[in-house]
Amino acid sequence: MIPSLEQTKRRRGSGVATVYDTLKREILELRLRPGSPIDETNLTERFGMSRTPIREALIKLAGEGLVLALPNRSTIVAPIDLLDLPQFFDALTLMYRVTTRLAAANHTAEDLLTIRELQQGYAEAVAARDISDMIEVNRDFHSAIAAAGRNHYYCDMFDRLLDEGRRLLRFYYSSFNDDLPALFLDEHEEMVRAIEARDVAASDRIAKQHADQIVRQIQAYITSDRRENGDMTL
Amino acid sequence: MIPSLEQTKRRRGSGVATVYDTLKREILELRLRPGSPIDETNLTERFGMSRTPIREALIKLAGEGLVLALPNRSTIVAPIDLLDLPQFFDALTLMYRVTTRLAAANHTAEDLLTIRELQQGYAEAVAARDISDMIEVNRDFHSAIAAAGRNHYYCDMFDRLLDEGRRLLRFYYSSFNDDLPALFLDEHEEMVRAIEARDVAASDRIAKQHADQIVRQIQAYITSDRRENGDMTL
DNA sequence: TGTATTTTTCGTGTCGACATGAAAAATATT
DNA sequence: AATATTTTTCATGTCGACACGAAAAATACA
């Protein structure tokens, strides 16, 4: 036995969670390429557990649309269809607006504190030029705003959209010149102020403006047909 | 062996689908009471298959929020929290509006045909006073409108909401005096006409009016604090 | 040499069994 | 009798093994 591979006994039930979290992160960070096959037997060796918990994690991922289960064939990482982009942007914009409005109306003091902390974290990620952190904190920032809106239906929908979006942002951020994340920082600041002031109309306006900004950037990136897109299964 | 219990060999992979569909239907029709425990071993006997496919079906249901998996304890049918109702109505109203607007803008001739067929089916269910059919066809009617909108993000969100709503409608419809379903029929007809005319503004207005109508009815039912609510885990 | 057919490979779908931990039952204690 | 503690029960979490079926490889055929 190789000591470094020895497994300390796992807590009962932690198996699925481990596989689920790990795979989800790898999918959202594009470390697992869209369309690439996922072999249960391989994961068996990698995670050092039987196929059952791995299978259950994959089923959960399939339920969220992050993975596609082909009957009697290996499941694959959900492909990204560029034709879906306009629809995605439409839904994202709407959810930005709705959640920000509700946050302005319903937030508590603690909510605002959490939101401000996350925005601080985003500022630090921008300063450190840490793309991974930027994308993840940005997601958490908007998710926290949704949570402050106190409607778990919107929260669930929005979180799903934001996750889907993380894969897109992976492309997106690579097209940035350095001043754009700073621009987002300003828009986020505006957004927080509007929420704090409980100004629903302003929150809505800024959310829409923020969404449009993002949409414009990504679409500009896509229509610029960079060569680097070639190797990605889209 | 008892002949009637002999099992014809199932198609490979049909096990999970059978359990999933059956349980989902029973949950949405309230044949399985919210909060009641679901025993995997029982289902083993009932469906005549091993625990594995049953387990996988339950995981899928948990992913949709129809079932709640308590670690190391039996999973239970997702409880209905009346405190969530206002949030649910808010989300439902928004999705009614968005999907109907998009349908007006993007529908094809075939879409309209499907929608009309479903409305016809609803009319027949109302005529036959078949509550089960009414609820199910009503759901399919609105789902078809969303599909005509050509945005699968909205479709997914909306379908989930509509499913959640089916459980609520089970209570709801029992409070109807007979003329209300007919009223909905008229509103549906208006809605279809607005979509056909590609009149986005009218579609939005009618969708909102329809949603408000439903919300008003359910809330009136709830605030009337009927005795029958007592035996339901809410 | 290119296409059709058979064989092999190999990953998924399903199964029965064991381990574990939480609730229930039984026992002990005040 | 009421509460605390131990024992038992039993459903879930995990495992290894087999069966099935689809893709790939190997063979036969034109």
Among chain A residues, the shortest Cα distance to B81 is held by A152
**What is the residue extent of each domain of chain B?**
13-77, 82-226
| Nearest of B85, B92, B119 to residue B208 by alpha carbon | B92
In the predicted model, is pLDDT for residue A179 greater than 70? Answer: no
Question: What pLDDT is recorded for position B41?
Answer: 94
Q: Fold match between A13-77 and A82-231?
A: no
Question: What pLDDT is recorded for position B175?
Answer: 61
pLDDT band of residue B44 (cuts 50, 70, 90) is very high
DSSP element (H, E) containing A67: strand A67-68
In the predicted model, is pLDDT for residue A225 greater than 80? Answer: no
In the predicted model, is pLDDT for residue B173 greater than 90? Answer: no
B13, B90, B91 member nearest A72 (Cβ) = B13
CA-to-CA distance for B50 and B62, rounded, in angstroms?
Answer: 19
pLDDT band of residue A23 (cuts 50, 70, 90) is very high
B59, B154, B157 member nearest A56 (Cβ) = B59
Who contacts A37 (Cβ-Cβ below 8 Å, separation ≥6)?
A74, A75, A76
CA-to-CA distance for B234 and B219, rounded, in angstroms?
Answer: 15
In the predicted model, is pLDDT for residue A187 greater than 70? Answer: yes
Cβ <8 Å between B87 and A157: no
Q: Picking from A61-70, A120-129, B141-150, B195-204, which range would have the lowest pLDDT averaged per residue?
A: A120-129
DSSP element (H, E) containing B95: helix B85-106
Q: What average pLDDT does the segment A7-36 reach?
A: 87
Share of chain B above pLDDT 70, in %: 87
User: What is the CATH T-level fold of the domain A82-231, as seen in this structure?
Assistant: Four Helix Bundle (Hemerythrin (Met), subunit A) (1.20.120)
Asked if strand C comes closer than 7 Å to B61 Cβ, the answer is no
User: Any CB–CB contact under 8 A between A52 and chain B?
Assistant: yes
pLDDT, tens digit, 9 for 90 and up, residues A193-212: 999 999 999 999 999 999 99
* For testing contact with chain A, the best of B11, B157, B160, B167 (most A CBs within 10 A): B157
Please name the residue that has the structure tokens 């809410």: B234
The ipTM is: 0.87
Q: What average pLDDT does the segment A117-132 reach?
A: 90
Question: What pLDDT is recorded for position B130?
Answer: 84
Q: What average pLDDT does the segment A83-97 reach?
A: 94
pLDDT band of residue B230 (cuts 50, 70, 90) is very low
Q: For the domain B82-226, what is the CATH code?
A: 1.20.120.530
User: Is A176 in contact with A130 (CB distance < 8 Å)?
Assistant: no
Mean pLDDT, chain B, rounded, equals 87
Q: Environment class of residue B29 by beta-carbon count within 10 Å: exposed (0-12), middle (13-18) or buried (19+)? A: middle
User: What is the CATH T-level fold of the domain B13-77, as seen in this structure?
Assistant: Arc Repressor Mutant, subunit A (1.10.10)
Beta strand segments in A75-116, E: 75-77
| Nearest of B34, B75, B73 to residue B54 by alpha carbon | B75
